[in-house]
Amino acid sequence: MVETFDLVVIGAGPAGEKGAAQAAYFGRRVAIVENQAQPGGAAAINAWVPSKTLREAALYLTGFQTRDAYEGLSLGLDPKFAVNRLRSRAAAVVKAITGEVRTNIEAHGIELVHGTARLAPDKHVHVTTPDGSRRDLRGDAILIASGSRPFHPAGIDFDDADVVDSETVLDIDVPLESIVVIGGGAVGTEYSSIFRALGTRVTLVDARPRLIPMMDHDISDGLADALRRIGARVELDAGAVRVGRDRDGVWVKLGSGEVARPEKVLFAAGRTGNTESLATDEAGVGVDERGWIKVDESYQTSATGIYAAGDVIGPPALASVSMEQARVAVCHAFGIPFKEMVTPVVPTGVYSIPEAGAVGLTEAQVADAGVDYEIGIAEFARNSRAIISGTTEGFVKLVFLRADRRVLGVHILGPDATELVHQGQAVISHDGTIDAFIEAVYNVPTMSETYKYAAYDGLQRLARRSG
């Protein structure tokens, strides 16, 4: 028997949940197919929810972020106890978040189907349930939101217990003396700072010349400097890296020929789409060599009536963007006049220590475009709230047009950067100028006040150029 729905969603991560809720809100009958025991997807179960929780718990337990302000005053924690507390806290938060996702699904009257989905012709979805039985679903539209998983390149043995990826790293249940992190993107940088906060000797390796290269060069360089200041070794332009094992344990060979022997190796360089079990070819859905589904501007795949959103379509692979992609896809699928596109002004955040946040264009992008621009920078070291809290590392950087002072980019390194960046997002979204920050009245003391002084710095730079 075929069960019919207006929309069948594959995957209950951020994109799947929000896309399903959008359709249900507008009166459509919706089913979500999820192969995990709990909804929430990789984001909630083994990606940003547990990793960000580990970060906050590590900072709380160790006082690492304010160590300079309270030098000589610290709590001695048994390392094994600290790791256990970190893991239990992460598990508690994952349980709470997945519970909220389930509650939202139930509140919208969405049917949650537990099983593995396989596409079939004519918008059919065959589901194999955990007990081996099969359910056949059909939707007027299908939304594929099956997410992604860590990329495993050939030549690295991920069956080795001492080689982990960004998911299995969460299984580490003992204190580590040393770790090599391969990959200087957001995940690698975040875990490098978390392990360093816990006292682990960290070596971060990347073949590229900068950490997180899509961010502004001052952010990338500032993060590398910050990691080095807290005792991490950062090796950029490291060339090809090899990983292996001999009788003495796991080893990592850098491009220079140097061999490191850490307790664990974390490979955190890229992800790949979860499409291999979907039988996309049977439904006429195009997929590239990395497993990403190809979509058009409305997030429709090469198969009419089948849409895809979130990590499964590739970068930027941000939960915030994935949710909006799914909402837009559903509105296009059913002609709902609500959301037609995802805003191009999308903030990004890196939950390292310190945090990094960005929105808009980098200085390099503006320079490459041949635009006459200026910048303004204010450091947290001169901000009263940062001084009080002992979190003075970092800065706010504005990139703006010289002619009319319109803000093109905001880049922040420092405390609460992922929160502060939204003020810059609002100004850019409304074609605002740096005058918006100058005219604003900020509570004092606050980190937000740094925007004002970055804008004043921009005015001073303009005056010097005019003179």
- Which one-letter amino acid corresponds to residue 81? F
Q: What Cα–Cα distance (Å) separates residue 116 from each residue in 31, 119, 146, 259?
A: 13, 10, 10, 42
Q: Shortest CA distance to 411 belongs to which of 377, 440, 439, 441?
A: 377
Would strands 242-246 and 233-235 be described as parallel, antiparallel, or unpaired?
unpaired
From 334, 362, 383, the end of a domain falls on: 334
| Same domain (yes/no): 397, 320 | no
Indicate whether 35 and 109 sit together in one domain. yes
Instruction: Single out the residue in 269, 289, 318 at which a domain terminates.
Output: 269
Evaluate whether residue 409 is within a structural domain: yes
> Do 224 and 282 share a domain, yes or no?
no
Q: What local confidence, expressed as pLDDT, does residue 48 receive? A: 65
Give pLDDT, residue 463: 93
Domain finish residue from 214, 241, 269:
269
pLDDT tens digits, 221-263: 999 999 999 899 999 999 889 999 999 999 999 988 999 999 9
Number of independent structural domains in the chain: 3
Q: Is the pLDDT of residue 61 over 90?
A: no
Determine which helix (DSSP H) or strand (DSSP E) holds 422, and give its type and residue range.
helix 417-429
Residue 153, token pair as written in the block = 């390149």
**79 and 19 both lie in a single domain:** yes
Percent of the chain scoring above 70 in pLDDT? 94
Instruction: Please check whether residues 168 and 110 belong to one and the same domain.
Output: no
What confidence tens digit (pLDDT) does each residue in 406-461 have? 999 999 999 899 999 999 999 999 999 999 999 999 999 999 999 999 999 999 99
- Establish if 158 belongs to a structural domain: no
pLDDT at 58 over 80: no
Two tokens, residue 249: 């344990």
User: Mind listing the pLDDT tens digit for each residue in 201-212?
Assistant: 999 999 999 999
Indicate if 11 and 146 belong to the same structural domain: yes
Assess whether 189 and 44 both reside in one domain: no
Query: Does the residue 210 lie in any domain?
Result: yes
Please report which confidence band the pLDDT of residue 41 belongs to, taking 50, 70 and 90 as the band edges: confident
Angle between helices 79-107 and 14-25 (to 10 degrees): 20
- Counts for the chain of helices (H) and strands (E), in that order: 13, 22
From 186, 224, 217, select the one nearest 365 (Cα to Cα): 217
233 and 287 part of one domain = no
**Per-residue pLDDT reduced to its tens digit, 274-299:** 999 999 999 999 999 888 999 999 99
Only one residue has tokens 């955990």, namely 130
**Per-residue pLDDT at 67 exceeds 60:** no
Cα–chain center distance at 125: 30
Is the peptide bond preceding residue 39 cis, with omega within 30 degrees of 0?
no
Q: Residue 410 domain-assigned? A: yes
Residue owning tokens 């997807």:
41
Q: What is the CATH number of the domain that holds 405?
A: 3.30.390.30
In a domain, 69, yes or no: yes
**226-231 long-range Cβ contacts below 8 angstroms, 24+ apart:** 226/193, 226/352, 226/353, 226/354, 226/393, 226/394, 226/413, 227/189, 227/192, 227/193, 227/196, 227/202, 227/352, 230/64, 230/193, 230/196, 230/197, 230/353, 231/196, 231/201, 231/202
Global confidence as pTM:
0.90
Is there a domain that residue 345 lies in? Answer: no
324 shares a domain with 295: yes
pLDDT (0 to 100) of residue 290: 86
- The CATH number linked to 215 is 3.50.50.60
Q: Which residue has the tokens 């990347």?
A: 206
Is 378 found in the same domain as 458? yes
For residues 43-48, give the mean pLDDT: 69
Q: Specify if 155 maps to a domain.
A: no
∠ CA 196-199-204, rounded to 5°? 30
Of 391 and 75, more confident: 391
156 domain-assigned: no
pLDDT at residue 62, rounded to an integer: 64
Residues 368 and 283 in one domain: no
Residue 159 is encoded by which pair of tokens?
A: 């069956």
CA-CA distance, 386 to 222, in Å (whole number)? Answer: 17
Sequence-distant (≥ 6) Cβ neighbours of residue 439 within 8 angstroms: none
pLDDT at position 65: 58
pLDDT at 182 over 90: yes
Residues 32 and 106 in one domain: yes
Structure tokens at 384: 């009263």
The pLDDT of residue 91: 82
- State which residues form the domain around 396: 354-466
Specify burial of residue 358 (Cβ count, 10 A radius: 0-12, 13-18, 19+).
buried
In angstroms, the CA 113 to CA 16 distance is 13
